[in-house]
Structure 1
Amino acid sequence: MTTANPPYLTGHFTPVVEEVTATGLTVEGTLPPELSGRLLRNGHNPKPGITPTHWFKGSGMVHGIRLRDGRAEWYRNRWVHTPALDGAPYMTDQGPDLTASAAGTHVIEHAGRLLALCEANLPFELDGELGTVGAYDFDGRLRTAMTAHPKEDPVTGELHFFASSPFPPHLTYHVADATGTLVHTAEVPTATAALKHDFALTRRHIVFIEGNVTFDPTEHSGIPYGWSDHQPSRIGVMPRGADGHHHIRWYSIEPGNMLHVSNAYEDGQGRIVLEGPTVDREGFRLSWNWWTGAPGRGTEPVARSYTRRWTIDQSAGTVDEHIIDDLPVEFPTLNEEYLGAENRYQYAIAFPDENGLGGYGLVKYDRTTGARRIHQVGDARLPGEAVFVPAAGATNEDDGYLLTVVSDLKQDASQLLVLDATGLGRIATVHLPHRVAAGLHGSWIPDSPATA
């Protein structure tokens, strides 16, 4: 049962109460000229007077910041106007309404379309000023929900994604080509009702992760999932290609649950290396209770979330796994030109530990040396997921910028920080017209020649 003031409606997560548009934003420092485009970020932001029963059920609000020619031209925030925003239920007498979406988890661009995503529903298309166009089903070809974490192949431009369901078929895999046409759909056999929030794409494989969190019809928060010691924890490796779903292999791993993948790739020996923050049973309990406002929760939305590495040797049929860092982190990102290939650098957001010790910060990992660097953002300031943008003429993987929106409780304000991705030094600060509630995921949408 939720409390009168659940944690996902307080502090850094206090919802924004109105839609605004502001132009000519104040900039401290110098914005790099190659930052010509829009930073879009999504998150759960219920309307005033609405108390959702779970953090993830809050209606989606997209925030946008337009940068061009060294200026911050505008900021605007808009709710994604889905049927759920006006109270339409997800479950109906005819079954799930895939348009009744919170649309509050992620926002991406593919083939010229802006899509707000929530994994139980169809995507919702937005226009360039964040107005809602409507549910998008790939011209009638998409008949399932769509994950909030699709992967765009940096080589082919294809968009790979999936639908996970508590009911058979539990897993359906999709591919849209670089033009946005849905060209492949396949039901993946042997999958279970385990929650699959994210997945990984390598040059040759699709990698699915089934942890110990699975469908639980007794969970009444509106998100019917819970931890089960009886649910096998495993990794599924599927060859890319039209018939790959017939050849998926599952590998048992230690109990746990992963929400977000850092990256995956084939190493020089042909093994698959997969990394991402994971939680154990206690970490999931503390986090879930925070997400639902239940007693016995942690002080933060994630608890005991440590980066883990799996090395899958398909020839030997073995998996080596271990925790590679003891810092609680979430929202991993990277230079997406390296998505699916071996990467040296990864970024994440650091959180206080399960006892509330430690602070927020933006973390850079060097996977070659094992070094970890943290950019501390200051007291009572929470940075959001850091989006990497390559620098003009980049020659090294970390030549670029990290863009993160910070919630500042002391000043009741927010800023966009632009950091040097190499050394994590601050390059510029863009002051936003109001405090932006801490949210989830977003994207940098660079200008095309037509919009520059």
Structure 2
Amino acid sequence: MTTAKPYLIGHYAPAVDELTATELTVEGSLPRELTGRLIRNSHNPKPGVTPTHWFKGSGMVHGIRLRDGRAEWYRNRWVHTPALDGAPYMTDHGPDLTASTAGTHVIEHAGRLLALCEANLPFELTPDLDTVGAYDFDGKLRSAMTAHPKTDPATGELHFFGSSPIPPHLIYYVADATGQITHSFEVPGATASLKHDFAITRHHVVFIEGTVTFDPAEHSGIPYSWNDAQPARIGVMPRGPQGASKIRWFPIEPGNMLHAANAYEDTQGRIVLEGPTVDREGFQLSWNWWVGAPGRGTEPNTRSHNRRWTIDLTTGRVDEQTIDDLATEFPTLNEDYLGAEHRYQYAVSFPDQEGQGSYGIVKYDRTTGERLIHDAGDARLPSEAVYVPAAGATREDDGYLLTVVSDLKQNASQLLVLDASDLNRIATVHLPRRVTGGIHGSWIPDADADGSDS
């Protein structure tokens, strides 16, 4: 029986070096309109380093450059932060916001490529994935930054927050399309509950406080745990500089949601929010895996089920329901519909706590209730499916899903390009190494990049 930490073996075994490969082999036909870079983050400690928690592993970004039907390059690079060289997060002067793993997400905004971790400042990268350094929005970012900012598809604004276990617990920010922070303020009524993600609608900001909160007795390096005394709530705040004074908090059933699929106002003006959610047992199973505790089970996310909340702002009533019993995480959608009512959403499926089921990419039709699954295959783990609209798209699902698969039997990885309408495979790009099972990423089309890559 192995005693290795589960997040350092199998699909999650770290890459031991950085490399660059060019002119990758392609099976099928890559759509020529896919011209840009898929960049995905992962927790990848350096050789010889064993972090106490999966989330503590240093960030490594993996990039795949597509252009004119070719796969031009793959490269992987550690994000060179002070933490990569062992600098502590806590110092005699308080937290060092530059001592980041920078291993959760990577986004592009206003021409800057940013690697993110929610306890720290963003780290800027070059188009070729080399590290520039910590970025604080010209001194206007005065806290950590969530790893899940939201870009409003209508305005180009970047909405994000900083959370902390000590007051102020929640600070909200908006940066305009040029990258300038236009307003920020503390959000009243927030607690030390873990806030990993949030949502925006066309008119509101939606915060989620679950039953997981700050716990100084937790020594894994991530000081949070399930606490039945922590009320689960949803906060709804009008967008705009004066929104803080009008925030309302709505109690919900105990649980914890790490990732929001989307939120919107329905035709009756109610707020609808969806995302995979775990109960107490589900959280503990995942936590045990994340820290490598005894009895950890085989997988995280084994009791993570898609949940929907409908919040009536007039009556104050919240209706909530679990809408599927499939174990899923990492929800995505066509982000042209972010903040608006959407028909389709996607996720990664996992085996359940009994080992039943398999890894795959799931498509939900929220109108018909249909669920479609692309099975990844034996010993194959797909990454979060990033949606890319097709040129001249006329339907919400007229586009592509990009996912990087870790294949243990072949000790290899491929980039799969799936048709977002039926999940059929369009093309496969063979990568020069098995890519570590990771977290979140982004497609950055050339129109949003400076094109200076090699």
State the TM-score, normalizing by the size of structure 1.
0.99
Which consecutive residues of structure 2, in runs of 5 or more, have no partner in the other structure? none
Instruction: Supply the AA of the counterpart residue of 1:446.
Output: P
CA shift, 1:451, in A, is: 2.9
Instruction: Work out the number of aligned pairs and report it.
Output: 450
Superposed, 1:29-428 pairs within 5 Å as 29-428=28-427
Instruction: Supply the AA of the counterpart residue of 1:331.
Output: F
Instruction: Supply the AA of the counterpart residue of 1:67.
Output: L
CA shift, 1:356, in A, is: 1.4
Could you tell me how far apart the structure 2 residues matched to 1:20 and 1:451 are? 20
CA shift, 1:296, in A, is: 2.2
Could you tell me how far apart the structure 2 residues matched to 1:395 and 1:442 are? 25
Could you tell me how far apart the structure 1 residues matched to 2:44 and 2:440 are? 13
Could you tell me how far apart the structure 2 residues matched to 1:274 and 1:374 are? 23
Could you tell me how far apart the structure 1 residues matched to 2:141 and 2:3 are? 39
8 Å CA contact retained: 2:237, 2:247: yes
Instruction: Supply the AA of the counterpart residue of 2:119.
Output: A
Instruction: Render the CA deviation track for 1:46-69: whole Å, top value 9, x for unaligned.
Output: 000000000000000000000000
Could you tell me how far apart the structure 2 residues matched to 1:377 and 1:357 are? 14
Could you tell me how far apart the structure 1 residues matched to 2:86 and 2:264 are? 42
Q: Secondary structure at the match of 2:23?
A: strand
Alignment partner, residue 19 of structure 1: 18
Could you tell me how far apart the structure 2 residues matched to 1:27 and 1:294 are? 41
8 Å CA contact retained: 1:298, 1:355: no
Which consecutive residues of structure 1, in runs of 5 or more, have no partner in the other structure? none
8 Å CA contact retained: 1:234, 1:250: yes
Alignment partner, residue 451 of structure 1: 451
Runs of 4+ in 1 over 2 A off after TM superposition: 449-452
Could you tell me how far apart the structure 2 residues matched to 1:428 and 1:147 are? 33
Could you tell me how far apart the structure 1 residues matched to 2:432 and 2:23 are? 10
Could you tell me how far apart the structure 2 residues matched to 1:303 and 1:50 are? 27
Could you tell me how far apart the structure 2 residues matched to 1:169 and 1:243 are? 18
Q: Give the CA RMSD over aligned residues.
A: 0.9
Instruction: Render the CA deviation track for 1:242-281: whole Å, top value 9, x for unaligned.
Output: 1101111000000000000000000000000000000000
CA shift, 1:295, in A, is: 1.1
Q: Secondary structure at the match of 1:191?
A: coil
State the TM-score, normalizing by the size of structure 2.
0.98
Could you tell me how far apart the structure 1 residues matched to 2:142 and 2:302 are? 35
Instruction: Render the CA deviation track for 1:80-139: whole Å, top value 9, x for unaligned.
Output: 000000000000000000000000000000000000000000000000100000000001
- Share of identical aligned residues, percent? 78
Could you tell me how far apart the structure 1 residues matched to 2:300 and 2:8 are? 12
Instruction: Render the CA deviation track for 1:183-221: whole Å, top value 9, x for unaligned.
Output: 111000110000000000000000000000000000000
CA shift, 1:4, in A, is: 4.3
Instruction: Supply the AA of the counterpart residue of 1:197.
Output: H
Q: Secondary structure at the match of 1:77?
A: strand
Could you tell me how far apart the structure 2 residues matched to 1:300 and 1:18 are? 26
Instruction: Supply the AA of the counterpart residue of 1:195.
Output: L
